[in-house]
Amino acid sequence: MSKVYKYRANQITSNREKDSILLSKNIIFASPIKFLNDPFEGSVMLPKADRHEHWVTPIMQDIGNIGIYSLSKPTEKDFPNNELLWAHYANSHKGFCIEYDLNKLIDNYSKEYDIRNVINVQYQDERPEVTEVDDTFTVQKKVFGTKSLAWKYENEIRLVFNTAGKKTIISEAVTGIYFGLRISLEDRRDIIQRTQGRNIDYYQIERIDNSYNLKSTKLIFDFSHKVINVECRPTVDNYMILYTSPNKDINTMQEFVDLFRRTLTKPSNITIIDDIRANDVLQNYKPRKDMTREEISVLSNHWLAYSSFDAPNLVWMYPEK
């Protein structure tokens, strides 16, 4: 299976539905070339002599009719962690990324799915020149599949359709969804609800501590935990929770706290850790200047989150993760 990816902002644009709704309806949108963000799209060198008019004019007309669905091919080095793709096409991490099985994305024989070509975009310094001896595919590759070197980071593959507009795909073509680092819990829940039961894997993008790198963690929807300490006071209880699930992003922590609070009868402070050593440090808390290097490391790496009784709907991550 060849996997390709589409980064989505999950915003409503003119004459289009929100990305999550199109996803739930198994619809993709093949954009007219004039709506693509590169001002040099379709910019090729064409002969200007009158004797070439009979074949140059059809090429120019064709450019205005086709629709393009742009995708990114993964590379071991940067997927799913290409910062620029997340920033440019996924609303600065507030959106999501769709993983497709390319073969199933192409394998559609409905009349409206008028796919013409699948083109791996080439990147070069100079605009390509179309000549009379070029065959049809070569012309199309030059016109629709050549961009400047500035776009190389996209590692793009394009589905080229005879017409622009909405195209219905088979549901099996979508194999995974990656949620941006800053996606809201509301949006994440909505997308999962709209696509559940379709054999789709879900992943959360997270930061890797002490670096500029990102990672993806598969969501398993498990909130395994153990209450290791409860301090009961007249008006407020304090809970220390050892959390053992692999999903520790801010949205998962928020979901866990929401579920945990439903079991409580009093206002409560909730501290969440993932290593029992953090409990010892917190129970014997002292100013940072008096901590050992090991104690500081334990807190930095294993104190996950905190939610207070007076702001029960909020979760603070500690440290920023």
Do both 19 and 132 map to the same domain? yes
Cβ-contact 188, 251 below 8 angstroms: yes
Which of 287, 292, 316, 286 minimizes the C-alpha distance to 304? 316
Do both 231 and 189 map to the same domain? no
Spatial distance between the Cα atoms of 137 and 119, rounded to a whole number of angstroms: 9
pLDDT at 160: 93
Does this model's pTM top 0.85? My answer is yes
Do both 94 and 22 map to the same domain? yes
- Coil, strand or helix: which one is 58? helix
**201 assigned to some structural domain:** no
Angle formed by the axes of helices 276-283 and 293-302, to 10°?
120
**213 assigned to some structural domain:** no
Do both 176 and 232 map to the same domain? no
Do both 78 and 139 map to the same domain? yes
Do both 131 and 237 map to the same domain? no
Label residues 261-276 b or e (16+ Cβ within 10 Å = b).
beeeeeebbbbbbbbe
pLDDT at 103: 93
Do both 145 and 281 map to the same domain? no
**220 assigned to some structural domain:** no
Q: How buried is residue 223: exposed, middle or buried, by Cβ count under 10 Å (0-12/13-18/19+)? A: middle
Cβ-contact 272, 243 below 8 angstroms: yes
Provide the domain count of the chain.
Answer: 2
Domain boundary among 173, 195, 217: 195
Do both 112 and 256 map to the same domain? no
Domain boundary among 144, 178, 195: 195
Minimum mean pLDDT range among 51-65, 196-210, 285-299: 51-65
Cβ-contact 70, 100 below 8 angstroms: no
**38 assigned to some structural domain:** yes
Cβ-contact 155, 4 below 8 angstroms: no
Do both 283 and 191 map to the same domain? no
Do both 45 and 103 map to the same domain? yes
DSSP codes joined into one string, 108-175: ---TT--EEEEEEPEEESS--B--TT--HHHHHHHHHSEEEGGGGGG-EEEEEESS-EEEE--GGGEE
Read off the pLDDT of each residue in 201-230 and give the average, rounded to a whole number. 91
**218 assigned to some structural domain:** no
With residue 310 as reference, give the H or E element that holds it: none
User: In this predicted model, what pLDDT tens digit does every residue of 245-287 receive, in sequence order?
Assistant: 999 999 999 999 999 999 999 999 999 999 999 999 999 888 8
Which distant-in-sequence residues (6+ apart) come within 8 Å of 292 by Cβ? none
Label residues 1-31 b or e (16+ Cβ within 10 Å = b).
eeebbbbbbbeeeeeeebbbebbbebebbbb
Name the band, by pLDDT with cuts 50, 70 and 90, for residue 131. confident
**148 assigned to some structural domain:** yes
**7 assigned to some structural domain:** yes
Query: Within 13 Å, how many C-alpha atoms sit on residue 236's CB side?
Result: 10
| Structure-token pair, residue 17 | 């539905």
Cβ-contact 218, 179 below 8 angstroms: no
Do both 146 and 233 map to the same domain? no
**40 assigned to some structural domain:** yes
Give whole-number Cα distances, 193 to 91, 168, 188, 299, in Å.
21, 20, 9, 35
pLDDT at 52 over 70: no
Minimum mean pLDDT range among 30-44, 49-63, 86-100, 254-268: 49-63
Domain residue limits at 106: 3-195
Do both 169 and 243 map to the same domain? no
